[in-house]
Amino acid sequence: MNDMERTLSIIKPDATRRNLTGKINALIESSGLRIIAQRRIQLTRTQAEQFYSVHKERAFFGELCDFMISGTVVVQALEGDNAVAKYREIMGATNPANADAGTIRKEFAESIEANSVHGSDSQENAATEIAFFFSGLDLVG
């Protein structure tokens, strides 16, 4: 199935701190996904809490938000065939201990929290998450 899709990626503070943006972008681009929008930002606590509001009842919510504002992040819109599933495949499992060899999280993640990247988990959430950070004019192909 050839479905052109978009997904939202975040390169997290553990990765930006270690200067890994370029290495992660190389893995994204060599998978065939295109980075159609990208911005390096410092999230506020309110923004982090809003972005991760689906997890607000989880025990790790507070620590997750602390971590996401502990340094800069790179927010990106990715485009390609089956982009949501493809990006989840190249990110690897949420917990790097379970991630397959060659995935971003196996290569770079430090822990389940400091796991280097976020990717949308469905097309519906991808649309919401891309709109959280980008306007239509930012998505330039």
Residue type, 25: N
Q: In what order do the strands lie in the sheet with 117-119?
A: 34-41, 73-81, 4-11, 117-119
Task: Name residue, tokens 């190389």.
Answer: 26
Alpha carbon distance 60, 106 (integer Å): 21
Alpha carbon distance 84, 78 (integer Å): 9
Residues of this chain that interact with ligand CMP (CB under 6 A) are 55, 60, 64, 94, 112-113, 115, 118
In the complex with ligand CMP, the residue whose CB is nearer, 35 or 93, is: 93
Q: How far apart are CB 98 and ligand CMP at their closest, in Å?
A: 11
Nearest residue relative to ligand CMP (C-beta): 118
Q: How far apart are CB 36 and ligand CMP at their closest, in Å?
A: 20
In the complex with ligand CMP, the residue whose CB is nearer, 6 or 118, is: 118
Q: Which of 15, 118, 119, 130 is catalytic?
A: 118
Q: How far apart are CB 12 and ligand CMP at their closest, in Å?
A: 7
Catalytic annotation present for 55:
no
The backbone region for 27, taken as left when phi is positive above 0, alpha when psi lies in -120 to 50, beta otherwise, is alpha
- The catalytic residue positions are 118
